[in-house]
Structure 1
Amino acid sequence: MPATPTFMEIFGFSVPVLPGGRRIWSPRFKRLITERMDAGDLTSSRLPRNVMFPNLIYQWRMQARGKPVGRAARMADISPATK
């Protein structure tokens, strides 16, 4: 049986936190954060410490723009060998 998550409140959202500490960010939450940062209403200094990290927000912003992140981005940088 899967473990039951706990919840934390952040910016008016209830975010599930799994027993290992992993947080499950909803698409609505990601959209709100990226839109507020793009508009200048929210800065990384106002993000809760040890909860949301700037690199995570960067990934959300790139995903919202349809750009690959993580492994997909690294694989896109590899060009096939030429003879």
Structure 2
Amino acid sequence: MALEARSFEVYGFTIEIHAGGRRVWPPSFKRFINDKMDRGELSVGEVMKTCNVSQSLVYKWRGDVRRGGRVKAKIKEERMFSEVIVQEDPSVPDSLSEIVLRGKQLEITLPASYPVSDLVSVIHALS
């Protein structure tokens, strides 16, 4: 005898109930809840009561939406900024000008004629 999948309706969405009673909340439902809460049309308490879920699950849905979906492994993202200082010295001929990229542990010197598009690639590779 095969168990039949059940479902119920909430806020116009069909929520599947798998064998064992696990409810499957679709991403579109999570986005809907997040949008309504952002606009002040729903509160966390209302969602908890209507969906029969915990406060932590409602906040997890919000996090899922803001991250663009469920993330299994947490990835630490660190943004780096580079300061670019242009120092012109009229006493130095153009043939002797150079581009110096300095980091905490690295210094790269390139000729002033180095192509800008390639320079951008070098800076991205270093960050």
TM-score range, shorter chain: 0.5 to 0.7
- Structure with the larger RCO, 1 or 2 (CA within 8 Å, 6+ apart): 1
What letter is aligned with 2:39?
A: A
- SS of 1:20's equivalent in the other structure is coil
1:28 aligns to what?
Answer: 28
Deviation digits for residues 17-41 of structure 1 (CA, Å, limit 9, x no counterpart):
1131111111111100011111111
Q: Pick the structure with more strand per residue.
A: 2
Return structure 1 stretches of 4+ with deviation > 6 angstroms. none
**Alignment length (residue pairs):** 75
After TM superposition, give the deviation of residue 4 of structure 1 in Å.
2.5
After TM superposition, give the deviation of residue 52 of structure 1 in Å.
2.2
Are the counterparts in 1 of residues 15 and 23 from structure 2 also a CA contact under 8 Å? yes
**What TM-score results when the alignment is normalised by the length of structure 1?**
0.68
What letter is aligned with 1:61?
A: R
Q: State the superposition RMSD in angstroms.
A: 2.9
1:81 aligns to what?
Answer: none
Larger radius of gyration: 2
